[in-house]
Amino acid sequence: MNKGTISQIIGVVVDVAFSEKLPEIYNALQTKMPDGKTLVLEVEQQRS
């Protein structure tokens, strides 16, 4: 499993930094919210 770190949130845009391989476009990213729920994000763009 490839792990990333949320680096910035602006409105509906979430920037996630990956130290290894970038996920493919349209792949799902999952993160745990403080309340224990899972938030699913979709990759729309890659910046290197």
What is the domain extent for residue 33?
4-42
Distance CA 12, CA 37 (A): 18
Residue 48 maps to a domain: no
Residue 28 maps to a domain: yes
Q: In the structure, what pLDDT confidence band is assigned to residue 47 with cuts at 50, 70 and 90?
A: confident
**pLDDT, tens digit, 9 for 90 and up, residues 14-24:** 999 999 899 99
Tokens for 16, please give them: 């996630």
Q: Please tell me the predicted confidence (pLDDT) of residue 24.
A: 95
**Domains: count for the chain:** 1
Tokens for 12, please give them: 């509906």
